[in-house]
Amino acid sequence: MNAPVKTPEERKADLQGMGDSRLRKEDARFIQGKGQYCDDIKLPGMLHMDIVRSPVAHGRIKRINKEEALAIPGVHAVLTADDLKPLNLHWMPTLAGDVAAVLADEKVHFQMQEVAIVIADDRYIAADAIEAVEVEYEELPVVIDPYAALEPDAPVLREDLQGKTEGAHGPRDHHNHIFTWEAGDKTAADAAFDHAPVTVSQHMHYPRVHPCPLETCGCVASFDPIKGELTTWMTSQAPHVVRTVVSMLSGVPESKVRIISPDIGGGFGNKVGIYPGYVCAIVASIVLGRPVKWSEDRVENISSTAFARDYHMDGHLAATEDGKILGLKVDVIADHGAFDACADPTKFPAGLFHICSGSYDIPAAHCSVKGVYTNKAPGGVAYRCSFRVTEAVYLIERMVDVLAQKLNMDKAEIRRKNFIRKDQFPYNSAFGFEYDSGDYHTALEKVLDAVDYKALRAEQEQKRADPNCPTLMGIGLVTFTEVVGAGPSKTCDILGVGMFDSCEIRIHPTGSAIARMGTITQGQGHQTTYAQIIASELGIPSEVIQVEEGDTSTAPYGLGTYGSRSTPVAGAAIAMAARKIHAKAKKIAAHLLEVSEADLDWEVDRFKVRGNDEQFKTMADVAFAAYQQPPEGLEPGLEAVHYYDPPNFTYPFGIYLCVVDIDKGTGESSIRRFYALDDCGTRINPMIIDGQIHGGLTEGFAVAMGQQMPFDEQGNLLGNTLMDYFLPTAVETPTWETDYTVTPSPHHPIGAKGVAESPHVGSIPTFTSAVVDAFAHLGVTHIDMPHTSYRIWKKLKEEGVQL
Amino acid sequence: MEVKLEKRYELGVPAQHAWAILSDLESVASCMPGASLGEKTGDNAFKGSVKVKVGPATAQFGGEVEILSMDAANHSLILKGKGADKGGSSASMELEASIEEADGQSVLVGLATVVVNGKFAQFGGRMMVQVSDVILKQFVDNFIGKAQALGEAPARDGEESSDKPAVQTASEPANELNGLAIFWALIKSWLGGLFGKKSAG
């Protein structure tokens, strides 16, 4: 009996391709606790490593005594910088062109810096043994404030760089100066300010925060002394780059280095860098000839692995009296900590901060970022954002609010007036970016209508007029544009490797497929969404498409997952590889159907002879034929590899609105409403997009309302446990409302722009905008994050707000 | 993390007895819960240690204590102590202590600058003032005990020369700083504050 014939629409639905809210393939194992993370890996004969860390933030190491630790039964080795020196591994290059100590060499530069490692039979012995390593320090003056670091008589932090007047990014003019990087046209910006009727300035600090993924960093290094092969399982967002670096550092040929990123419990930028722990575990495995595991604890993770932000920014806007922006100037002091270990494309020491002209048509702009050493942990990664875009968006969105306040204009009105119009795309910004597509006006009106903005403003006015109202009401509005998908290799590289990404697809004879990628999922759901792109391109059901990532021995070379680059770059590579297969499949189909290729039409999952619905070959038919009877002159098999070098970045955008009610007596704030409209171009899986947005908004809420890494004068980090460092749970997290518009990217094969970081980037200034708005009638133009109840309470007192 | 503590304790003992204890480093050390003095490393310097016990965990701070100056005429001294434990904490303290006389009563006056680094600062920073208060209270109680004993001792045994303080007769304080006891004292003072505030409001 024949099966009922399905319509093209039904067949399309069966594929679960692009646009389908297909359930995440990863979740079956995660919700059953069957994920395989680094710490789940147990190898025969495996030893454990723990790290002796410095209690002081700046000091000279006078003496290290290992004897007592070595005497503990089960301890195999205690290594210090002196032991790594003969291998030239006591220092390592950073991604930013600086060097960082692997184990402190004569001096410690920040609290919790790695000083020595202990290798022992188990984690418990290792933990006991690190306490038995005696280290004597001579304390040195500590520099925490980056402005103080630039004083002429400030202590010299990096003695290893003394006398070096040239850094990786140009001249250094002070012993604690790393680089000064500029973008835009200073002369034009100055001229705009000289003649402007209105100017505003605002200083703001974007505090140091930590991405704090649920899984901390770690690795299992296993060197096989007989084969000379090094296999390392590692919590890395960029395993291929790690392989290259490990090969360069260790001298093991890259063909004998295998890096595997297993399941990763969140990265958010924290797992891009190469940390001393990884290097030490690898060295220890090579030296001892046994596998060595290293797993950080939470305190170590927050204290010593890559932080984000810590930008002290001065913004200036010039405008006409009716609110048209004429010029933007920005000066930043960037606190990079003890070593410049930022993870940015090589040519951009301040990342893509020069996206700071935002969604606005600003004719003249200039920015200058000065990187500074202090006695804090190194890092400066993009915490769920694309290379300093969060800082840039925060700066411009705050400044536009400040200007609106000065002119007594509405926040929405000033944005309408300055938006890049739809017909201006592709738009060249004063900083040199070519914005691909956007429709800001439509999106803004959609949000204002959805929340009834006018009614909210009326309610606010009424509450301000009522002295008995127990709350201050604030309305935050942010209209941001991101730059993601790094990036075109003509401008973007990491350690000289262009920031392309890659995909290899193999179609098996029976019509199922496997795709291998240069990226690595950390919760984004790649195994689900990548399959959907292939399903739509090739007519193979998502369900039979396997996606593999993270093993450098099987996957093609790629730069990894961060900066919202997976969909813009790797997603494009998938589509392009699939199209190569499609082209070959069409030849095979024409051969099977004995017609010319020009007579074939593609419909969902099959090639049809034009005008004859009965004459067709499905992709599964073609796949079998590719292995059985390929046409003469065509090689057998059905697979393709594509390395995609994007012609441009993509520019997702969003309109976010937040209503906050602040208790006048206690300073407690309640997020009454948060409305997030995102435009990420073509939407691959709406359910996953919603999940990404919920996650990003929640992390944005965390940063804006509570996360901070406070240091005291001695350089003690006073917030490195989850008791102090704010990770919101369901209890604190507000309810999110999401919405979207679709403005595809014209240069991307499927029009997708990337989404996971937009909600983080966009929401943070929205919360600040709302909190400041609650105080705006008192003349307050800016309040630094985090907006904790205590800090808001202090502000209430400062402003004389009475209950 | 730096904390400055300024304290005055009425002792209820004659000033010269109080000074006899204060000017003798070993006596002072024996008043400090958990503290002990080790070998002499200089004219006015000793090795020393402080043991803190919190539940099953014991931390031992080892370091040096030195008397920087002593002014017998004014009953005042300045001493500096510093130490580190093996778990990644270090601490230092500079203390100016003196015995003042007011209305025939002696008062112990202390001005201490305490700097703590590492885990103690990270985990315990915000509790430092409260914990210090509790420890100092125990210290002063022991101190008074010793000074009182000094007054009583000659009466019980007239043969004993009074130039040597009879510190041995005082009840020996516990030889470790008990975290549980500190915790309990903190809870009590916190509860006291809570109810105090409520009744006042």
Confidence (pLDDT) at A628: 93
**ipTM associated with this complex:** 0.74
Q: Do B118 and A721 touch (CB under 8 A)?
A: no
- Residue A285 identity (one-letter amino acid): S
Closest-CA distance of chain B to residue A236, Å? 28
Residue A330 within any structural domain of the chain? no
Residue A206 within any structural domain of the chain? no
Nearest Cα residue in chain B from A300: B119
State pLDDT tens for residues B111-167: 888 888 888 787 766 677 777 777 788 888 888 898 888 876 554 444 444 444 444
> Residues A679, A752: one domain?
yes
Name chain A contacts of B122, Cβ cutoff 8 Å: 299, 716-718, 720-721
The pLDDT mean for chain A works out to 96
Residue A663 within any structural domain of the chain? yes
Confidence (pLDDT) at B160: 43
Closest-CA distance of chain A to residue B85, Å? 9
State pLDDT tens for residues A747-780: 999 999 999 999 999 999 999 999 999 999 999 9
Confidence of residue A646 (pLDDT cuts 50, 70, 90): very high
Q: Between A and B, how many residue pairs show a Cβ–Cβ distance under 8 A?
A: 49
Q: Do B118 and A712 touch (CB under 8 A)?
A: no
State pLDDT tens for residues A195-244: 999 999 999 999 999 999 999 999 999 999 999 999 999 999 999 999 99
pLDDT at position B172 over 70:
no
State pLDDT tens for residues A438-487: 999 999 999 999 999 999 999 999 999 999 999 999 999 999 999 999 88
DSSP line for chain B? -EEEEEEEEE--S-HHHHHHHHT-HHHHHHHSTTEEEEEE-SSSEEEEEEEEEETTEEEEEEEEEEEEEEETTTTEEEEEEEEEETTTEEEEEEEEEEEEEETTEEEEEEEEEEEEEEHHHHHHGGGHHHHHHHHHHHHHHHHHHHHHHHHHHHHH-TTS-TTS--GGGSPPPPSSEEHHHHHHHHHHHHHHHHHHHHHH-
> Residues A43, A15: one domain?
no
Nearest Cα residue in chain B from A721: B123
**CA distance linking residue A607 with residue A592, whole number of Å:** 11
Confidence (pLDDT) at A226: 95
Average pLDDT score over residue span A570-590:
97
Name chain A contacts of B123, Cβ cutoff 8 Å: 721
**CA distance linking residue B79 with residue B102, whole number of Å:** 24
Q: Do A714 and B121 touch (CB under 8 A)?
A: yes
CB burial string A697-708: b at 16+ within 10 A, e below? bbbbbbbbbbbb
Residue A348 within any structural domain of the chain? no
Average pLDDT score over residue span A279-296:
96
Q: Do A55 and B117 touch (CB under 8 A)?
A: yes
Catalytic residue numbers of A, as ranges: 237, 384-385, 757
- Residue A474 identity (one-letter amino acid): G
Confidence (pLDDT) at A233: 98
The pLDDT mean for chain B works out to 76
**In chain A, how many domains are there?**
3
Confidence (pLDDT) at B151: 73
State pLDDT tens for residues A391-439: 999 999 999 999 999 999 999 999 999 999 999 999 999 999 999 999 9
Taken as a whole, chain A contains a residue count of 803
Confidence of residue A172 (pLDDT cuts 50, 70, 90): very high
Confidence (pLDDT) at B42: 87
A346 and B CB contact within 8 Å:
no
- Residue A38 identity (one-letter amino acid): C
Confidence of residue A2 (pLDDT cuts 50, 70, 90): low
Average pLDDT score over residue span A522-550:
96
Name chain B contacts of A131, Cβ cutoff 8 Å: 86-87
Give Cβ neighbours of residue A148 (< 8 Å, ≥ 6 apart).
A154
Confidence of residue A594 (pLDDT cuts 50, 70, 90): very high
Of A584, A610, A644, which residue is a domain's last? A644
Cβ-contact A385, A311 below 8 angstroms: no
Residue A174 within any structural domain of the chain? no
Task: Tell me the CATH number at A406.
Answer: 3.30.365.10
Confidence (pLDDT) at B194: 54
> Residues A258, A395: one domain?
no
Average pLDDT score over residue span A532-540:
98
**Tokens standing for B85?**
């434990």
- Name every residue in B having a CB less than 8 A away from some CB of A: 1-2, 84, 86-90, 115-119, 121-123, 125-126
**CA distance linking residue A243 with residue A233, whole number of Å:** 11
> Residues A438, A530: one domain?
no
**Tokens standing for B14?**
């004659």
> Residues A285, A403: one domain?
no
Nearest Cα residue in chain B from A115: B88
Task: Give the one of A55, A131, A715 whose C-beta lies nearest to B90's C-beta.
Answer: A55
Task: Give the one of B88, B123, B126 whose C-beta lies nearest to A53's C-beta.
Answer: B88
> Residues A117, A225: one domain?
yes
> Residues A125, A237: one domain?
yes
Residue A324 within any structural domain of the chain? no
Q: Do A714 and B1 touch (CB under 8 A)?
A: yes
Closest-CA distance of chain A to residue B21, Å? 33
Residue A668 within any structural domain of the chain? yes
Sign of CA dihedral A65, A71, A72, A78: positive
> Residues A699, A735: one domain?
yes
Confidence (pLDDT) at B192: 59
If you classify domain B2-200 with CATH, what class do you get?
Answer: alpha beta
pLDDT at position B191 over 80:
no
Name chain B contacts of A132, Cβ cutoff 8 Å: 86
Q: Cα-flanking dihedrals φ and ψ of residue A594, to 5°? A: 55, 45
> Residues A671, A711: one domain?
yes
Task: Give the one of A132, A134, A714 whose C-beta lies nearest to B115's C-beta.
Answer: A714
State pLDDT tens for residues A69-114: 999 999 999 999 999 999 999 999 998 999 999 999 999 999 999 9
> Residues A674, A759: one domain?
yes
Task: Give the one of A53, A134, A712 whose C-beta lies nearest to B121's C-beta.
Answer: A712
A544: exposed, middle or buried (Cβ count in 10 Å: 0-12, 13-18, 19+): middle
Task: Give the one of A54, A56, A716 whose C-beta lies nearest to B122's C-beta.
Answer: A716
Closest CA to A558 of A617, A608, A500, A598: A500
Q: Tell me which of A4 and B127 has the higher pLDDT.
A: A4
Give the number of other Cβ atoms within 10 Å of residue A26's Cβ.
18
CA A436 to mean position of chain CA atoms = 21
> Residues A420, A524: one domain?
no
Domain region containing A109: 38-140+216-264+271-304
Residue A422 within any structural domain of the chain? yes
> Residues A666, A773: one domain?
yes
Q: Tell me which of A313 and B7 has the higher pLDDT.
A: A313
